Amino acid sequence: MTSSGAIDGTTSRPLFSVTDDGPDGQLFDRAVEAMPRERIRALQLDLLRTQLAGLGRRSPFYADLWAANGFDPLSVASLDDFDAPLTTKEMLRDSQLESPPLGRHAGVPMADVVRVHASSGTTGRPSYVGITGRDLEDWTQVVARVLYSEGMRPDDVVVHAFGLGFFVGGLPLKDATERIGATFVPIGTGSSDRVVQSIRDLGGTVLMSTPSYATYLAEYCRNKLGLEPAELGLRKLLLGAEPGASIPAVRARLEADYGAVVGDGMGNADVFPIYLASCPEQDGLHLCAEDQLLTELVDPDSGRRLDWTEGTEGELVVTHLRRECVPLVRFRVRDRVVVGATTCPCGRTSPRLHCVGRTDDLLFVAGVNVWPSAVKDVIASMAPRTTGAMQIVLADAGPVVRPPMRVQVEYGLDVEDLDELRTDVENLLRDKLVVAATVDLVPPNSLPRWEMKAQLVRRRR
């Protein structure tokens, strides 16, 4: 595969892609995924300079933003001196409200768009993401690398339990599954009977869903069908759209329930459907789009760029290197990550990232930073005394929470001494997270179950 001409008439360097012989059993796209770091950086600089030059001419949003901040898109001589102003989700929302449907940052006319997806908006209006034919090809290639890294292979039968509408976890995953050569079974949400029947009738080997739905399906099998989840015969659970699969206690519980390997991935509609993926080492998530995406870390408070070294924690910032429609330049993803090792036994040369949480989900309790996913990990680690289901209940909008933090926790079926359990949960939250909490124990199956993203925080008003 080679790249097409850029939308503004320039020609970009051919894209490194799958070898002529196809995937090699370990990596889907070895030419990119095992590329030495110095070559990746050189490629990124070349693509970045081409992208910036084109956007300066075809995007009024970026032309105005850069002029207002004194940034010259033709002045970038190295990745280290790339200092374009940061952009945010709110800026993209305003751009689309000002110039519907795709915004002043769209970069292409609607006639060049072959598909539109959407993410949830903060005002009730969806945030639309258009893609051109070349964007679609790039999406499919990146997502195929992700799914292959997580363990999907051509002989798999993949039962898809995400939504298939606007959501980027639908059609893009279908396209990538078919590119790998696996069998795609589109079930969607709200049909657990059909999910189970399809797995059994078609010999399903992979379940693709949110961690919350995989947890729900295990309970559904036991409580409604009298069936142990492991009896389904799944070999892999490829999970995403929320942080559950990266929470150690949740992942361990799912692997034990299903007798299957859990793969984890991260992405979003604005950037790529998925661009971070676990590998067999299960030690962080690899960047699977380094020929498509420049990634940086910044301090969440000041926006200052941080060194990309092992152990550094910061907010992820990304720049599209080839995107034609709705491209992003130094976009604040709001995911807070820690950089892991830069080498991996799997052969991928991209850094591994460990996601801590979203900066807009972070709670502050008496000066202590509390991630809802960390609370979930503590609660899930107490199974079977708890079911693992929980919700943090806030009296107001947050993120500042007056202690003690209130947490609803489902107790397990065989728990007899609720007072003892309540004390143990509160003590463990204090010991592990250094946070004072009041725990309300509620009966099993009384808290909401989620087929899509789990809501770990509930605000009363």
**Domains of the chain: residue spans and CATH:** 22-359 (3.40.50.12780), 363-459 (3.30.300.30)
pLDDT at 366: 67
pLDDT at 403: 86
Q: pTM, whole model, 2 decimals? A: 0.80
pLDDT at 21: 44
pLDDT at 153: 96
The torsion angle over the Cα atoms of residues 222, 225, 226 and 229, rounded to 10 degrees, is: -50
pLDDT at 28: 96
Phi-psi region of 181 (alpha: psi -120 to 50; beta: other; left: phi over 0): left
Phi-psi region of 137 (alpha: psi -120 to 50; beta: other; left: phi over 0): alpha
66/302 Cα distance (integer angstroms): 19
> By C-alpha distance, which of 351, 460, 458 is closest to 37?
351
DSSP code of residue 230: G
> By C-alpha distance, which of 20, 19, 15 is closest to 2?
15
The torsion angle over the Cα atoms of residues 39, 44, 45 and 46, rounded to 10 degrees, is: 90
pLDDT at 449: 79
pLDDT at 120: 56
262/275 Cα distance (integer angstroms): 17
Q: Are 273 and 169 in contact (CB under 8 A)?
A: yes
Burial of 444 (0-12, 13-18, 19+ CB in 10 A): middle
Task: State which H helix or E strand residue 116 sits in.
Answer: strand 115-119
pLDDT at 451: 66
pLDDT at 434: 81
Kindly tell me the sign of the dihedral angle through the C-alpha atoms of 290, 152, 197, 446.
negative
Burial of 306 (0-12, 13-18, 19+ CB in 10 A): middle
331/105 Cα distance (integer angstroms): 12
Per-block average pLDDT, block size 10, for the chain (461 residues)?
40 35 78 95 97 94 97 95 93 92 94 89 68 97 97 97 85 96 92 95 96 90 95 96 80 95 92 95 94 96 92 96 97 92 90 83 75 86 93 83 92 93 94 90 89 77 58
pLDDT at 256: 96
Burial of 415 (0-12, 13-18, 19+ CB in 10 A): middle
428/202 Cα distance (integer angstroms): 44
